[in-house]
Amino acid sequence: MDEILGILKTDDSLYGGWPQKKEKVVSVITQRFDSTTLARSVLARYWKKLAADERQHFIGLFSQVLEHTYIHKIKSYSDEEVVFLKQKVYGEKAVVYSQILKDQMEIPITYKVKKNKEEWLIYDIIIEGVSLVKNYRQQFKQILMNESYSELVKRMEEKIRENKLKDREE
């Protein structure tokens, strides 16, 4: 988070503008998130029904949706300070408690991480009590119960297209 806020605070001209700055932020996010665990968690029981190639395709789609969502939430941050409060380690998993201080407000953020070789990767983020995984799981479950997996993929692809159009307009 400190690295991302550092990038966001840096003058756009040092990176060549927002598109390059965004690319740098995406790179940091990609390195720190466990995309496979996130994708498997949001699909829950539906994950097992997918073939290997469908799983890989879903991981890619979900990563793009997540990147855009995360980037747009943090894009407006500038003078915030991240304070790490504590961490609890449970073997190969840990919970990191932090908060962002903004205009005398404290925004609690909890990271659930797991060890992958020598680094810790995020597999869920809880912002102000709302779990990213649970939120997407509920949305996707509704679609999967009422429609189909192919409809979910179609909606995600459409959302990605819309996001790319918005990015070009900014």
Residue whose tokens read 């997540």: 66
* Residue 24, Cβ density class (10 Å: 0-12 exposed, 13-18 middle, ≥19 buried): middle
Q: Bigger pLDDT: 127 or 26?
A: 127
Instruction: Give the pLDDT score at 1.
Output: 67
As a whole-number percent, the residues of the chain with pLDDT over 90 amount to 46
Alpha-carbon distance 29 to 70, whole Å? 9
Q: Is the pLDDT of residue 121 over 80?
A: yes
Q: What confidence tens digit (pLDDT) does each residue in 61-101 have?
A: 998 888 887 776 666 666 677 888 999 999 999 999 998 88
77 exposed, middle or buried (CB, 10 Å; 0-12, 13-18, 19+)? middle
Tell me the pLDDT band of 169, cut-offs 50, 70 and 90.
low
Give mean pLDDT, residues 121-137. Answer: 91
- Check pLDDT > 80 for residue 6: no
Q: How many domains does the chain have?
A: 1
The residue type at 30: T
* Residue 19 scores a pLDDT above 90: no
Q: Could you give the CA distance from residue 79 to residue 32 in angstroms, rounded to a whole number?
A: 22
Q: What is the pLDDT of residue 163?
A: 81
For the domain that residue 115 is a member of, what is the CATH number?
A: 3.10.450.710
pLDDT for 75 equals 65
Residue range 21-51, pLDDT digits in tens = 777 777 887 788 899 999 999 999 999 999 9
Residue 127's pLDDT is what? 86
Assess contact for 8 and 160: CB atoms under 8 A: no
Domain that holds residue 141: 2-169
The backbone region for 40, taken as left when phi is positive above 0, alpha when psi lies in -120 to 50, beta otherwise, is: alpha
Which DSSP symbol is given to 34? -
CB 94 within 8 A of CB 87: yes
- Predicted confidence (pLDDT) at residue 134 exceeds the cutoff of 80: yes
- Show the tokens assigned to 1: 């988070």
What pLDDT, on the 0 to 100 scale, is given for residue 115?
Answer: 93
Which sign does the torsion angle of CA 58, 62, 63, 64 carry?
A: positive
Are 109 and 60 a contacting pair, CB within 8 Å? no
**The predicted structure's pLDDT at residue 88:** 96
| Coil vs helix vs strand at 64 | helix
Handedness of CA 121, 123, 129, 130 (dihedral sign): positive
Residue 141 has pLDDT above 90, yes or no: yes
